[in-house]
A and B are shown apart, each in its own frame.
Chain A
Amino acid sequence: MIVVNTETVAGYDLLEVKGMVQGNTVRAKHMGRDIAASFKNMVGGELKGYTELLTESRREALTRMLQQAQELGANAVVNVRFTTSAITAGAAEMMAYGTAVVVTPKLQP
């Protein structure tokens, strides 16, 4: 499955538009990460637990979006965007959405 955030896939021709697809997830971190984070908030530096949380949520949201695209019979998702919303401290919603399309490689001249 091709996933890009441009409107077309460079080097490919657009055959068919299948429609909008989306995937979302809300993830929370565990308490251990919380304790580490409150220490890090004293001395500064990267909150690795939270970075991981973001990476996992992004992957999960993309995976769910791709599942939808697959069900529609698409082979690519274009113009992918993300959005997030806050729900409570230590949890965040991540949503990925885009347009499922069918593309085919351009014929070489």
Chain B
Amino acid sequence: MDQLVALAVTAVVILVGLFAGKATEKRHLASLSQREAENACLRVTTLRQPLDVSQAPHTPVLVCGEAVIASDAFKSWATGLRNLFGGEAKNFGRLYSRARREATLRMLEDARRQGFDAVCNVRHMSTDIGGNAVRPQNKGMPMATCVAFGTAYKRG
């Protein structure tokens, strides 16, 4: 009986995760697309030096953006299932791409706020806040973490 209740609770949590997670993702993706369109005027490159920097001294600055996006119960469960068979975990791929886009946008918004119109030498990195790597038994909280940074400058 107890096991049955536990199973039912797990099923409910996964179902809540499925619907709430889908809704959250949809909202986030819509907001990302809209803000990406707003920031499309910025020139973003991974080049190590700005190519078209303005002549007047407009000192470049380092700009950063961070984002940590949680997985939902359904995604975590589905990926656990995926671990049995192997193959691409598209759910988590999408999760990471959301974190990357969010972090990049925050970096761009930081640049725009300071009056710059281009960012070069953009780099991405990740960090393990959940501590899944150092405490493998603690696999409860999958999350996508991304830090984006680059040098903002004024185009000539």
Residues on A lying within 8 angstroms of B by beta carbon are: 2-12, 37-38, 40-47, 50-51, 53-55, 58, 62, 80-92, 94, 105-106, 108
Contact = CB atoms under 8 A, between A and B. Distances in A.
B49 A5 contact: no
B34 interface: no
B8 interface: no
Contacts, number: 158
B interface majority secondary structure: mixed
B71 A41 contact: yes
Interface residues of B, number: 57
Contacts of B21: 43-44
Given A9-B59, A11-B55, A46-B70, 13 more contacts: A11-B54, A42-B20, A43-B20, A43-B72, A46-B69, A51-B67, A58-B147, A80-B149, A81-B123, A84-B126, A88-B131, A89-B130, A91-B129
Interface of B: 13, 16-17, 20-21, 24-25, 28, 48-50, 53-55, 57-62, 64, 66-73, 75-76, 102, 120-121, 123, 125-135, 138, 140-143, 145, 147, 149-151, 153
A6 B73 contact: no
B16 A92 contact: no
